[in-house]
């Protein structure tokens, strides 16, 4: 019993951290994620703060490691592909990566501990005050911004993603973006912990009422926005191709001709009569659908000829946008190929109109950070991909302009199109076969809805094994495939919003203002006279 009493805080941190991932897609147990944030706040205030710096740092790290494991455990599936020689790296993916991400929260726990030490408020009941809640929420949300921007960035499952089931609340993204929504989400938890532990403080009751009111207003405004902006379609059609090729088969050269035949059959499949009056059609295939070895086979020219002859027979302009792994050779090292996770836009004659190379590469998967120091690691079996030049808008006569995004690139709010060359659509191609039947593909697909609302642009998403999605500019899902389904999605492309959204203009400036304001007010309250009833 004495042992448990001594180490109870750490058991609580493990428990609350493990609950953290359950509020996100596809489980949507939102109260458990909110309980995770609230439990973390409660343990810090009751058992840890103020105390030793190492104790504070370790407590934050322990909670955050379990929190990120519960959110990201499925990334280890990438190493479970049949005959993968790098299976030994599974613990690094499942535990090591979350442990690294936990460092952000460990640092803010040190800061929170220092602030509580310096605060003149020493009464235990004052640990559950509005000042504490604001400072805690601001610091914790700041780590989410850092996680999304520092060391290449990894903004997966920001706290605001727990609302992905509620399209009305999500409309706030068009004004304030995902980090403001994340701050408000985190703030709910400490405010209600305060209410449970110290309802005598008048500001605790008021603050809990205000946060409820804020979300009610967001929901009502979102409902109004959706009700007054029905989906409007262009006369251009997109065919989103989901071939459902297993990861174990995808890179098997013996099956490349089979893959190419499958793409040919899916591209040339007849359109239903509803689409024959279209102005143009864009065919979209997934990330790395094609590669140089596949196209060098003797059968490839005949299959490609069949595809483009079919496109030329259509009564409207037709284009193919496809994922393509390509290589170049550097004159300085002629024997060392440079690989690009790329895509290309082809017309109905098979002419390449444009390349787009993925520029936001997945660290440790598509390239090794600091590879001059650390040899290239698991997952990729070559020297890594080269970085592309950055965002661009692709244009071709007769089809809506679009900003191409390959896989991971759709994760980054505010970084999905060129502000000076606003496209009509976002087009995201991805593989997702790596992650099998896990939360990964569900959560990745939802990024389309978030980016659509933030930018006011429809999103077209083609995934190898699912889920492929077409959304309108308000985040409505208009068409969607199931996971592990082989299917074409044919749909008229929705219109974008007439004007850019406020968020796409101001980006995260509202978040910076809200974060600094919360810190200022929180610190002001935290350092007020200890006799003040706040």
* pLDDT by residue, tens only, the chain of 534 residues: 566 677 899 999 999 999 999 999 999 999 999 999 999 999 999 998 878 899 999 999 999 999 999 999 998 877 776 666 667 767 777 899 999 999 999 999 999 999 988 887 665 556 788 999 999 999 999 999 999 999 889 999 999 999 999 999 999 999 999 999 999 999 999 999 999 988 777 888 999 999 999 999 999 999 999 999 999 999 999 999 999 999 889 999 999 999 999 999 999 999 998 898 899 999 999 999 999 999 999 999 999 999 999 999 999 999 999 999 999 988 777 778 889 999 999 999 999 999 999 998 887 677 766 566 555 444 444 467 888 999 999 999 999 999 999 999 999 999 999 999 999 999 999 999 988 889 999 999 999 999 999 999 999 999 999 899 999 999 999 999 999 999 999 999 999 999 999 999 999 999 999 999 999 999 999 887 554 444
Task: Check if the beta carbon of residue 171 is closer than 8 Å to that of residue 226.
Answer: yes
Residue 134: which of 203, 201, 65, 216 has the closest Cα?
A: 203
Confidence (pLDDT) at 531? 46
In the set 109, 144, 218, 358, the catalytic residue is: 358
Whole-angstrom Cα distance, residue 496 to residue 517?
A: 33
Q: Would 501 be classed as within a structural domain? A: no
Annotated catalytic, 358? yes
Q: Would 505 be classed as within a structural domain? A: no
Whole-angstrom Cα distance, residue 238 to residue 492?
A: 6
Q: Would 279 be classed as within a structural domain? A: yes
Instruction: Write the burial class of residue 227 (CB in 10 Å: 0-12 exposed, 13-18 middle, 19+ buried).
Output: exposed
What residues make up the domain containing 264? 234-496
Residues 52, 190 share a domain: yes
Residues 377, 477 share a domain: yes
Task: Check if the beta carbon of residue 107 is closer than 8 Å to that of residue 150.
Answer: no
Residue 465: which of 291, 258, 248, 300 has the closest Cα?
A: 248
Whole-angstrom Cα distance, residue 520 to residue 12?
A: 30
Q: List the Cα angle 23/27/33 in 5-degree steps.
A: 15
Whole-angstrom Cα distance, residue 294 to residue 310?
A: 21
Whole-angstrom Cα distance, residue 192 to residue 211?
A: 10
Residues 70, 130 share a domain: yes
Q: How many Cα atoms sit within 13 Å of 521 on the Cβ side?
A: 14
Q: How far is CA 86 from the centre of its chain?
A: 26
Q: Would 84 be classed as within a structural domain? A: yes
| Crossing angle between the packed helical segments 509-526 and 97-118, to the nearest 10 degrees | 40
Q: Would 259 be classed as within a structural domain? A: yes
Whole-angstrom Cα distance, residue 22 to residue 80?
A: 23
Residues 199, 346 share a domain: no
Q: How many Cα atoms sit within 13 Å of 78 on the Cβ side?
A: 20
Bond prior to 403 in cis (omega within 30° of 0): no
Alpha helices in 150-201 (DSSP H): 167-170, 173-197
Residues 183, 58 share a domain: yes
Which CATH number belongs to the domain containing residue 251 in this structure? 3.60.110.10
In the set 407, 409, 415, 454, the catalytic residue is: 407
364-400 as b/e: b if 16+ CB within 10 A: bbbbbeeeeeeeebbbbeeebbbebeebbbbebeebb
507 phi-psi bin (left φ>0, alpha ψ -120 to 50, beta other): left
Q: Would 180 be classed as within a structural domain? A: yes
Q: What's the total number of domains in the chain?
A: 2
Residues 518, 479 share a domain: no
Confidence (pLDDT) at 81? 66
Residues 216, 333 share a domain: no
Confidence (pLDDT) at 379? 46
Instruction: Write the burial class of residue 73 (CB in 10 Å: 0-12 exposed, 13-18 middle, 19+ buried).
Output: middle
Q: Would 533 be classed as within a structural domain? A: no
Residues 280, 147 share a domain: no
130 phi-psi bin (left φ>0, alpha ψ -120 to 50, beta other): alpha
Residues 209, 257 share a domain: no
Annotated catalytic, 109? no
Query: How many residues are present in the chain?
Result: 534
Confidence (pLDDT) at 364? 66
- Predicted TM-score (pTM) of the model is 0.93
SS3 state at 240: strand
Residues 192, 217 share a domain: yes
Residues 247, 342 share a domain: yes
Alpha carbon distance, N-terminus to C-terminus of the chain: 37
430-460 as b/e: b if 16+ CB within 10 A: bbbbbbbebbbbbbbbbbbbbbbbbbbbbbb
Residues 177, 118 share a domain: yes
Q: Would 502 be classed as within a structural domain? A: no
Annotated catalytic, 407? yes
Residue 218: which of 180, 182, 163, 169 has the closest Cα?
A: 169
Whole-angstrom Cα distance, residue 90 to residue 79?
A: 6
In the set 287, 366, 415, 454, the catalytic residue is: 287
Phi, psi torsion values for 83, nearest 5 degrees: 65, 20
Confidence (pLDDT) at 368? 66
Residue 29: which of 41, 37, 20 has the closest Cα?
A: 20
Confidence (pLDDT) at 7? 86
Residue 512: which of 102, 130, 146 has the closest Cα?
A: 146
């Amino acid at each position: 019993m004495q042992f448990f009493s001594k180490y109870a805080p750490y058991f609580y941190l493990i428990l609350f951290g493990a609950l953290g991932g359950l509020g996100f897609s596809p489980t949507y147990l939102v109260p458990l994620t909110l309980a995770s944030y609230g439990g973390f706040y409660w343990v810090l205030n009751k058992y840890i703060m103020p105390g030793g710096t190492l104790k504070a740092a370790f407590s934050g790290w322990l909670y955050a490691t379990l929190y990120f494991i519960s959110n990201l455990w499925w990334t280890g599936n990438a190493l479970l592909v049949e005959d993968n020689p790098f299976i030994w790296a599974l613990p690094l993916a499942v535990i090591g990566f979350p442990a690294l991400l936990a460092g952000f929260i460990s640092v803010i726990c040190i800061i929170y501990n220092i602030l509580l030490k310096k605060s003149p408020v020493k009464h235990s009941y004052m640990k559950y005050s509005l000042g504490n809640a604001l400072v805690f929420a601001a610091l914790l949300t700041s780590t989410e911004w850092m996680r999304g921007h520092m060391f290449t960035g990894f903004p997966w499952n920001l706290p605001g993603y727990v609302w992905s089931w509620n399209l009305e609340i999500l409309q706030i993204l068009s004004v304030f973006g995902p980090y403001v929504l994340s701050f408000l989400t985190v703030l709910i938890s400490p405010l209600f912990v305060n209410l449970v532990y110290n309802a005598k403080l008048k500001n605790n009751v008021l603050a809990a009422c205000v946060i409820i009111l804020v979300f009610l207003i967001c929901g009502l405004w979102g409902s109004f926005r959706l009700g007054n902006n029905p989906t409007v379609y262009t006369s251009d059609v997109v065919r989103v191709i989901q071939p459902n090729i297993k990861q174990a088969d995808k890179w098997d050269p013996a099956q490349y001709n089979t893959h190419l035949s499958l793409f040919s059959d899916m591209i040339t499949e007849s359109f239903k009569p509803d689409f024959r009056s279209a102005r143009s059609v864009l065919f979209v295939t997934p990330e790395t659908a094609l590669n140089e070895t596949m196209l060098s086979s003797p059968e490839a020219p005949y299959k490609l000829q069949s595809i483009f002859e079919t496109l030329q027979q259509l009564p409207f302009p037709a284009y193919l946008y496809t994922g393509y792994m390509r290589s170049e050779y550097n004159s300085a090292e002629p024997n060392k190929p440079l690989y690009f996770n790329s895509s290309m836009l082809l017309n109905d004659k098979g002419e390449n109109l444009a390349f787009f190379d993925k520029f936001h590469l997945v660290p440790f998967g598509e390239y090794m950070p600091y590879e001059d120091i650390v040899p290239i690691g698991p997952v990729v079996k070559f020297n890594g991909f080269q970085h592309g030049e950055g965002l661009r808008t692709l244009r071709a006569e007769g089809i809506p302009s679009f900003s191409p995004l390959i896989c991971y690139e759709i994760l980054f709010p505010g970084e999905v199109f060129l502000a000076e060359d606003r496209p009509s659509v976002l087009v995201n191609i991805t593989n997702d076969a790596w992650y099998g039947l896990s939360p990964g593909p569900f959560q990745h697909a939802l990024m389309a809805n978030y980016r659509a609302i933030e930018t006011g642009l429809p999103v077209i998403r083609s995934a190898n094994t699912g889920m492929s999605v077409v959304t309108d500019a308000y985040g409505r899902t208009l068409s969607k495939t199931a996971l592990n389904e082989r299917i074409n999605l044919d749909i008229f492309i929705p219109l974008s919003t007439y004007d850019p959204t406020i968020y796409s203009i101001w980006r995260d400036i509202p978040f910076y203002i809200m974060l600094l304001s919360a810190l200022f007010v929180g610190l002001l309250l935290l350092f007020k006279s200890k006799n003040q009833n706040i």
